[in-house]
Structure 1
Amino acid sequence: MTLRDVVRPGLRVIVAGTIAAWDRAAQVHYYDSPGNKFWTLLHASGLVPVELAPEQDDEVLRFGVGLTDLVRTEPSPPSEPPRFDVAGFHRLIARNRPRVLAFVSKTAASSYARAAGERAPRGFGTLSWTVAGVPAFVLPGPSGANNGMPLPLRIAMWSELADYVAALEARG
């Protein structure tokens, strides 16, 4: 089994990560690695009302959340950077038109920015550019590698995304 997009049209937010192309085929569920706080952050921020497990990654759709990553081409060797299909990523976002596209880390946002010719983000929060016309947002990463940032601070920043999405929904 391979990791596939968990998306549909009209979602509140699609969360995009940067799983390495050579790992994509080996993954069965999103954010299913020891120490990864994705599912905790998604719930604690208010983006979903219950804490889901990685095996329930399809359930995010019920709450208006989608999951994808930037890798859209053939696997690249571990010694090379992932090959991003920017045009394919734009088509996926344009076809599904979420209210917001949230990059799950500065690494994800910077990887996209480099590939798309945009300015790399300096911090977290809303970006000055869009992806296929969709507002973009940068979250602090959920991986164990980011455990130097306290969990309460990460929850607060993920909660800013929930507030941003709610504000966009209120505007119609």
Structure 2
Amino acid sequence: MTRRAPRPGREELEAARDKLVPDVAAEGLRVLFCGINPGLMSAATGHHFARPGNRFWPVLHASGFTPRLLRPDEERELLTYGLGITNVVERASAQAGELSAEEYREGGRQLARKVARLRPKWLAVVGVTAYRTAFGERAAQIGPQERMIGGARVWVLPNPSGLNAHWTPTAMAEEFSRLRKAALAQEAAEPEQGG
């Protein structure tokens, strides 16, 4: 039985401010999920989407991306499914509202370079406001985008934060599932690139 580390306390969370959480990434992924920025719980634990109440992991499973519900500390298992995680802005904060528009824009530029280097098939940005600000796409909506970033197709997903009351877990899972089906269809349509 795997023992989970105790939850960080208030002082540990505050000490995590501005820390970085390493990407879960590799070259040629099917989908690279991109959060807004790490929250303090993620920075304190070193794992993405670690705050209790964040719906990323349950929605990822409910949409069929993972065969079982993963915990944040199992995030590296995503690589075996051709999935990864990064962020628009790397530094941790208590709330995304603490980030400036310039941080988003600079994060967007850095993300485009990272995507060009890693070459995932899809970049899935979880948070339409973050996508709009980072890439100057004011009219962007949830769903597939016409724009490509770093050679990857782009899909904007709803923010899985428990604070996002506009989206139920079921509706969120349906949108994640739409992306999963599009990624599978793209793979089926592309002949293997041999070497």
Provide the TM-score with structure 1 as the length reference: 0.85
Structure 2 residue ranges without an equivalent (≥5)? 1-18, 191-195
Out of 110, 115, 126, the position equivalent to 2:132 is 110
Matched letter for residue 111 of structure 2: F
For residues 169 and 34 of structure 1, do their structure 2 counterparts lie closer, same or farther at Cα, with a shift above 3 Å needed? Answer: same
Aligned length: 166
Equivalent-residue separation in structure 1 for 2:110 and 2:140 (angstroms): 25
Equivalent-residue separation in structure 2 for 1:74 and 1:37 (angstroms): 18
* Alignment root-mean-square deviation, CA: 2.5
Match of 1:149 in 2: 167
Query: What secondary structure, in the 3-state scheme, does the structure 2 residue paired with 1:136 have?
Result: strand
Equivalent positions of 1:44-83 (< 5 A) are: 44-72=62-90, 81=100, 83=103
Out of 115, 127, 130, the position equivalent to 2:145 is 127
Matched letter for residue 15 of structure 1: F
Task: Name the larger-Rg structure.
Answer: 2
Post-superposition CA distance 1:82-113 (Å, at most 9, x none): 62344422221011111100001112311322
Match of 2:13 in 1: none
Equivalent-residue separation in structure 2 for 1:26 and 1:121 (angstroms): 34
Provide the TM-score with structure 2 as the length reference: 0.76
Question: How far did 1:73 drift?
Answer: 7.4
Structure 1 residue ranges without an equivalent (≥5)? none
For residues 48 and 85 of structure 1, do their structure 2 counterparts lie closer, same or farther at Cα, with a shift above 3 Å needed? Answer: same
